[in-house]
Amino acid sequence: MEFLDRLFGIKRTGFIKGESGGRIEIYEYGSQKVLKFNGTVYSRISKDSIYTHDYWDCFLPLAFLYPRPRALIIGLGGGTVPYQLRKILGTSIAIDAVETDKNMVNAMESFLPEKIDVNVMIGDGAGYVKSVKHRYDVIILDAYVDDLLPDQFLTQEFVDGVYEALGPAGTFAINYINSSNGQVRLESYISLLKKRFKVFEVAPNSFTANVVLVCSKTFGREDIIERIGASVKVDDLNKHIVSSYENMKDA
């Protein structure tokens, strides 16, 4: 592996042992930087652009549905999404994050190119949404063990908790890895989500197994596309994201 890393110009720049004994590693190659947990990529950033051209980007337009959004991220990883949101929206967005592994927070501080303003809470995201008193505009779920969402996020109790933790026009967005294991559970998960939300699928690109499930309390497909089109200033750097939403389909 070290020979291949040298061959392709990949260098490991950081290593932290996770609380559960897993390996948190940071790698750089060219303009890209990735954070891996037990060999699986949990975060990616680019030195050349705020965008990753992968599923992380698909969360960003949802914040534009609200004038001064309050966002919750369940599963911090290396902090790609809070970093992107903070760089794009500045102080107009409030960002909370829930992460089970405090060492992942230390890794995020090493991974990101600069310190960002995000309120990180150590704990279980499923438990947090049941107890939180205030309401969020956007809740993002990106918490994984290998390529599967943990079981506590696949229950009606959790979905109901998310629904109640959102404001009247809130949006719940999920990174779902549609791997061979994930496909078995996807249909039943979507059925569960549809009991409370209008559910849509956004495909980041044709090269990934990830799909972003966009679950809205009130907005329909055309509403979301229209609002994003009216709020996001489209340029060559972000047009791939707008295109993904224009191709959004009912789940």
* pLDDT digits 0-9 by tens, 142-178: 998 877 889 999 999 999 999 999 999 999 999 998 7
What local confidence, expressed as pLDDT, does residue 182 receive?
A: 63
Question: For the residues 19-48, what does the mean pLDDT come to?
Answer: 87
By the 8 A CB rule, do 98 and 74 touch?
Answer: yes
What local confidence, expressed as pLDDT, does residue 119 receive?
A: 97
Measured between alpha carbons, how far is 176 from 27 in angstroms, rounded to an integer?
A: 24
By the 8 A CB rule, do 17 and 103 touch?
Answer: yes
Position 47 pLDDT exceeds 70: yes
What local confidence, expressed as pLDDT, does residue 2 receive?
A: 41
Measured between alpha carbons, how far is 13 from 36 in angstroms, rounded to an integer?
A: 12
Residue 122's DSSP bridge partners are 99
Position 54 pLDDT exceeds 60: yes
129 SS3 class: helix
What local confidence, expressed as pLDDT, does residue 153 receive?
A: 96
**What six digits make up the tokens of 203?**
């495909």
Question: For the residues 44-72, what does the mean pLDDT come to?
Answer: 95
Measured between alpha carbons, how far is 185 from 187 in angstroms, rounded to an integer?
A: 6
Q: pLDDT class for 117, splitting at 50, 70, 90?
A: very high
Measured between alpha carbons, how far is 233 from 242 in angstroms, rounded to an integer?
A: 10
Position 195 pLDDT exceeds 90: yes
Question: For the residues 196-225, what does the mean pLDDT come to?
Answer: 92
- Cβ neighbours of 1 (radius 10 Å): 6
Burial 72-93 (b: 16+ CB within 10 A, else e): bbbbbbbbbbbbbbbebbeeeb
Tally of CA atoms within 13 A in the half-sphere of 155 that contains its CB: 12
Question: For the residues 63-90, what does the mean pLDDT come to?
Answer: 96
**Domain extents in the chain:** 52-250
Position 11 pLDDT exceeds 70: no
Burial 146-176 (b: 16+ CB within 10 A, else e): eeebeeebbeeebbebbbebbbeebbbbbbb
CATH of 52-250, one of 3.30.565.10, 1.10.630.10, 2.40.30.10, 3.40.50.150: 3.40.50.150
- Cβ neighbours of 233 (radius 10 Å): 7
Question: For the residues 202-210, what does the mean pLDDT come to?
Answer: 82
What local confidence, expressed as pLDDT, does residue 5 receive?
A: 47
Measured between alpha carbons, how far is 100 from 122 in angstroms, rounded to an integer?
A: 5
Bridging pattern class, strands 249-250 and 136-141: unpaired
Measured between alpha carbons, how far is 241 from 204 in angstroms, rounded to an integer?
A: 8
> Mean pLDDT in the chain?
89
Question: Does the predicted model carry a pTM greater than 0.85?
Answer: yes
* pLDDT digits 0-9 by tens, 227-244: 999 999 889 999 999 999
Position 96 pLDDT exceeds 90: yes
